[in-house]
Amino acid sequence: MIFAIRDDDVNYFTDPEELEAAYSNVWGYCPPTFSVITHVKGNWPFWIKEIYNNRQSVDWTAWKKDDKVSPLDRNEGLVKFLKEKHKSGKLGLSLHAIHHRNGDLLPPPERLNNYIQGAEFFTNRDLTADVRSAVGYLHSHLDLVIKVFTPPQNLMSLRGYRSVVNNGLSIVGAGIPFWKKERSIKGLENMIKVASFKLRNKNLDYPYILNFKRHSELIHHYPLHPTTRPIHLIEKFEAVYRFNGVFVLSTHYHEFETPLVYDSTRKMKDVFFEFMNYVFSKPDIEFNSLFQDYWKLMIDP
């Protein structure tokens, strides 16, 4: 079984000490993959707190006006930290977003609500050139080849999806209907694989990597939020473990100190470490970052 951690939202405002505090106890065994925002817009720390604390009453007009771009490379300490930790094998890196803002004049209407305004790749626009530029930017400043993309808010339109696939990036968590992904023999084979598995295992997620013509996908990952209970992660983990599949824990470093919704005496990091201790206790697990090129090596039944 393969186990990996996907942590979204590393950007210009990220303090390396936040990443150390979250992962220094585990990255010697399991290197997390930090999925990067290359040119974040607005005051990220301020708006994260506003959205988490105020939800429906967020001043979205002020949010839109606060559109100053902060490139990742201007945080020299963070760039140095990421390069050093990556070279030492303690973390992987992938692409998450460019601005983490939807740039459409009129976003697709079925997703117009307060919690989806950051879904940059749920778009009516072709972002192929933007993704290519972002991948080149990360290669230039972090000295690595980006191979994986994780969608903001796990949402993609067909145009957003194709913008990523056109650049040959593999995807963790692509939010479009399966039948739209690739109309080819390979696409049909993948549809049959997933449908056949679901027919035999109706309540379980398809646990393997799917290889398409130009990229690969892992269609399921498992979120850790302040609402998540350890037992729920363990149940999902055991289902993937049973089939010797791929389990990706999806989370955010900036939530680690957040109190749990159902138990204010504990923080989200407590659930993380409880779950990781459980995972570490299991035999026959290969711990990887998403950066590592194991995608094409996975043989699904």
Q: Could you list the mean pLDDT of each consecutive 10-residue stretch along the chain, which spans 301 residues?
A: 96 97 95 97 93 80 93 98 95 96 83 70 96 97 94 92 94 81 84 93 93 89 96 98 96 96 97 97 92 49 44
Q: Where are the domains of the chain?
A: 2-297
Dist CA 117 CA 119 (whole Å): 6
The CATH fold assigned to 2-297 is TIM Barrel (3.20.20)
Tell me the C-alpha to C-alpha distance, in Å, between residue 117 and each of 12, 121, 164, 263: 20, 11, 19, 29
Dist CA 82 CA 78 (whole Å): 6
Q: What is the pLDDT of residue 112?
A: 62
Amino acid at 199: L
CB burial class (10 A; 0-12, 13-18, 19+) of residue 212?
middle
CB 148 within 8 A of CB 33: yes
Instruction: Write out the H or E segment, with its range, that includes residue 60.
Output: helix 60-65
Q: What is the pLDDT of residue 300?
A: 47
Q: What is the pLDDT of residue 213?
A: 85
Q: What is the pLDDT of residue 280?
A: 96
Q: What is the pLDDT of residue 206?
A: 94
Secondary structure of residue 215 in the 3-state scheme: coil
Q: What is the pLDDT of residue 296?
A: 46
Q: What is the pLDDT of residue 293?
A: 53
DSSP 295: G
Tokens found for residue 234: 């363990």
